[in-house]
């Protein structure tokens, strides 16, 4: 078997893309999207009809309505391909507003249900700020499942699990990026690869904590820079992977071994993490990497949402 097929024996593979053809090719269980991926996709001719239909059907309702319709259109098409779930992201500009995040999630789920898609097949993606986590707590109680994104630290992960989030997406590659930038010329790639990769270590710590203390929140490693990171997390609940790296795995034939397991996690010793609001904010503040990457990620997703709105504005003639 190729490495992708071997990996699927240990881990649920998720496509990190808005490209339908890639999903059909690699047959993932689920798919994740974000404003950056949707922005990239709608600029391709083959996806232009989705944008044109959203504009045509919702032109009079304004750009926000067109944007939401476009997100749901992509999600609905994805669910025709994957057998599992699609993740649809709440606007990153709502990352510090619990009530607005809850309201947007309600709206997105209602749009999906109007298309005949049950909420069980949708994960609402929310940034792992304190306010976002509190929104997820409300939504989960209502049966709306949440995927907590932009997650870079154990304290964020613990807070998400205690809020009952369905799934978290700890970012591997962006953690590596931060450490490489901090080290500069002193960076030694050989000393920080495989099991020693700081992003890999972060996800392993979170996975072990969850399994050790019996949390049911799923761990989905995300934001990979290379297949080495992916294979070092074989056994994680889920891994969301770009088409480029899926292609590399499909071409690889080297043996893949399980790296993470519930038994190993439960056998280890991990201290409990205090996670009320003051403790959360303090621990996140003390983690420079997590603080910086969370803020940077929110800004980047917000910027791409603005670009997507501008594209919609051009299409509607409202600019």
All structural domains of the chain with their residue ranges = 3-316
Q: Are 2 and 226 in contact (CB under 8 A)?
A: no
pTM, 2 dp = 0.95
pLDDT in tens, 178-213: 999 999 999 999 999 999 999 999 999 999 999 999
Q: Which residues are catalytic?
A: 125
Averaged pLDDT for residues 250-277: 95
pLDDT band with cut points at 50, 70 and 90 for residue 319: very low
Q: Which of 64-68, 95-99, 116-120, 182-186 has the lowest mean pLDDT?
A: 64-68
Rg (CA), the chain: 19
Query: Token digits for 192?
Result: 């920080």
CA atoms within 13 A on the CB side of 68: 18
Averaged pLDDT for residues 205-229: 97
DSSP 203-224: HHHHHHHHHHHT---EEEEB--
Is the pLDDT assigned to residue 318 strictly greater than 80?
Answer: no
Identify the DSSP state of 90: P
Q: Choose which CATH entry (3.20.20.70, 3.40.50.2300, 3.30.70.260, 3.90.180.10) describes domain 3-316.
A: 3.20.20.70
- Mean pLDDT, all residues of the chain: 95
Distance of CA 218 to the CA centre of its chain: 12
Non-local CB neighbours of 241 within 8 Å, separated by 6+ positions:
13, 14, 15, 16, 28, 224, 230, 249
51 vs 139: which has the higher pLDDT: 139
């Amino acid at each position: 078997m190729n490495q992708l097929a071997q990996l699927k024996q240990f881990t649920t593979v998720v496509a990190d893309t808005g490209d339908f053809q890639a999903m059909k090719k690699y047959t993932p269980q689920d798919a994740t999207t974000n404003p950056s991926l949707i922005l990239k996709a709608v600029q391709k001719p083959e996806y232009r009809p989705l944008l044109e239909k959203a504009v045509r059907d919702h032109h009079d309702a304004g750009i926000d309505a067109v944007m939401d319709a476009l997100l749901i259109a992509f999600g609905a098409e994805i669910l025709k391909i994957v057998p599992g779930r699609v993740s649809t992201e709440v606007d990153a500009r709502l990352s510090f507003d619990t009530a607005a995040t809850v309201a947007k999630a309600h709206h997105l789920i209602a749009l999906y249900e109007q298309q005949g898609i049950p909420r069980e097949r949708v994960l609402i993606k929310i940034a792992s700020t304190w306010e976002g986590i509190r929104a997820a707590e409300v939504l989960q109680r209502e049966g709306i499942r949440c995927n907590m994104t932009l997650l870079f630290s154990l304290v964020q992960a613990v807070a998400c699990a205690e809020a009952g989030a369905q799934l978290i997406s700890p970012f591997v590659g962006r953690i590596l990026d931060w450490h490489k930038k901090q080290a500069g010329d002193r960076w030694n790639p050989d000393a920080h690869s495989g099991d020693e990769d700081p992003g890999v270590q972060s996800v392993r710590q979170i996975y072990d904590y969850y399994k050790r203390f019996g949390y049911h929140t799923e761990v989905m490693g995300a934001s990979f820079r290379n297949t080495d990171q992916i294979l070092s997390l074989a056994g994680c609940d889920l891994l969301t992977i770009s088409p480029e790296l899926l292609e590399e795995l499909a071409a690889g034939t080297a043996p893949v071994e399980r790296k993470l397991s519930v038994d190993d996690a439960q056998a280890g010793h991990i201290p409990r993490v205090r996670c009320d609001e003051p403790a959360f904010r303090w621990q996140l503040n003390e983690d420079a990497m997590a603080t910086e990457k969370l803020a940077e990620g929110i800004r980047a997703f917000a910027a791409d949402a603005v670009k997507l709105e501008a594209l919609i504005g051009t299409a509607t003639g409202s600019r």
